[in-house]
Structure formats: C-alpha cells, structure tokens
Amino acid sequence: MNQFARVACAFFRRDFFIATSYKFNFAFQFMAGFFIVTMFYFLSLLIDSDASRAMVSRFQTDYFSFVLIGLAGAGILHTGLTGFAGSLRTGMSEGSLEMTFSCPIRPMWVLLFPCIWAFFFEALKIVVVITSGTLFFGADLGHANLTSGLTVIIVTVMSYSVLGIISASIIMVLKRGDPINAAFSVASTLIAGAFFPIDLLPSWLASIAKVLPMTYAYEAMRKTLLLGAGVSDVSFELMILGGFSVLGLPLAFGIANMAIAKSKRDGTLGIF
C-alpha cells in the first residue's frame, strides 16, 4: 500500500473512531434522516395527487418520490460545501491542526483526507433516507438505474468539492466568515430544484438556477433514479458537472495551497 492510501486510511480510521465514540449522536444522525423523510411524506399528503403528478410529470412520479431524491441530493450538497471547512474548524478548535500539518505528509492531504469519512457517512445517511422512503412510505424507485445514479453522485461530489475547498481556504486565512458556503447553500437548496421543480420559479429566478451546478445534479439524479436513465441519457448534465470540476478543482487546489502557505508564514494554523 502506497503512502497516499495509508494516509487516507489513517484519517478515515481516526474520524470513524471519533464519530462512533459519541454513540448517541452517531445513532441520532441516522434517526434524523428518517424523521425528515417522515415529515416530507406527510407534507406530500397535503398536495392533491393529480396536481402533484402534473407538477413533476417529467419524472412520471409523485411529489414524495420527487422530493426524496432532492433530500438525498441536498445531503451531498451540504457535505461538499461544509465538510472541508467543518473538519478544518474542528482541528483548529481542538488544537490538533497545527500538529497534523507538521506530519511528514503533503499539506493538501491534511485538508482533503478528513472529508473521506464525512462523504462516506453522508452516503450511509442517503441509503437510510432512500431505503426508509421506499420501504415505509412507498416511494416509487422501481426503475432506478443504480450504476448511472452512482456515477452522477460521484461527479456531483467532485463539482461541489470545488466550492468546499475554496470555502475551507477562506476559513484558514480569515478564521471567521464563510461567504461561499452561505451563498451557494441557500441558493442551491431553494432554487436549484431540491424540493420543487424550477419550472415553478419566476423566469428571473429560473435563470439563476440554470447557472448553479446543483440544478443539473438534481436533474440527473432524478432521471437515473426515477426514470432509469443511463449515463448517455444524462450526458449533458454530467458534462456540466464534470466541466465545473475540471475547471474548478485546479483553481481550488491553487487557492488552498496559497492559504496553507500564508497561514504557515503568519503562524496562524493553530489559531481559531
């Protein structure tokens, strides 16, 4: 096993043992996902069935199945945007960040690897959300193409990691304030199609939605998991998300390296 894999596994094991040591909190995060699914199920009952199906007719399903995929996508969005900055803040507040950066590993790995556990844990919560919605509340996912859906999720994680890495870099230098996270989290949740189709938005808001990567992620996830679309059927959405990753990741890594170098020069890595 090369150094990259060894270090990645070490960070994963560390974060796994920390997370599972708080047993009630660990279990409650899974229960919270079930409670949220339950809430949206009963909210969906308030919507007339015919009107609901007309609203999401492109996906040939009901509102609850539509919003269930939105909940899963919103979890990916939240982790991509906040995972890097969150792990960085934890290291700062615990006083372990500076010591970790002094280890004989690449500084960028210190920023990236703590999020392996965050993404893995989010994947487990998504399984709970989708499984509970299907088994207990009758969500219609019988046509799901899991291979295509997983491909979309991986590309989505990469695209939103761009913003998460930039957000963590800002936190590393400024210590407070997270404009990237706040702006994109609100915009992507409210107008990108997480809980209702963007067709319902006023034209000016729909125009904003069309420049958000998550709009295309929600669209592709619903096509693959509700309609059984293959990778070729969501090639346009994957091209948008992949292009955002290809162009954005080198920029994000460059900004992160500059932030790390500045914090080391200023001696502020351990200051929160």
Flag whether 236 is in a domain: yes
Residue-wise over 82-114: b if at least 16 C-beta within 10 A, else e?
A: bbbbbbbbebbeeeebbebbeeebebebbbbbb
- pLDDT per position as a tens digit, 129-166: 888 899 888 888 888 898 999 999 889 888 888 888 88
Flag whether 187 is in a domain: yes
- pLDDT per position as a tens digit, 6-52: 888 888 888 888 888 888 888 888 888 888 888 888 888 877 666 66
Tokens of 192: 């990108």
Q: Indicate the burial class of 204 (C-beta count within 10 angstroms; 0-12, 13-18, 19 or more).
A: exposed
Tokens of 189: 């949740």
Q: Report DSSP letters for 59-80, one per residue.
A: GTS-HHHHHHHHHHHHHHHHHH
Flag whether 191 is in a domain: yes
| Domain span at 239 | 3-266
Give the C-alpha separation, 202 to 134, whole Å. Answer: 32
How many folded domains does the chain comprise?
1
**Residue 81 Cα distances to 112, 119, 161, 201, 243, angstroms:** 13, 11, 6, 24, 18
pLDDT of residue 55 exceeding 80 = no
Flag whether 93 is in a domain: yes
Nearest to 163 by CA among 207, 212, 125, 199: 212
Q: Residue 86's pLDDT band (boundaries 50, 70, 90)?
A: confident
Instruction: Please give the residue that has the higher pLDDT: either 270 or 57.
Output: 57
Give the C-alpha separation, 37 to 256, whole Å. Answer: 36
- pLDDT per position as a tens digit, 178-213: 666 767 777 777 788 888 888 888 888 888 888 888
Flag whether 15 is in a domain: yes
Flag whether 271 is in a domain: no
pTM: 0.84
Flag whether 62 is in a domain: yes
pLDDT for the residue numbered 191:
85
Flag whether 272 is in a domain: no
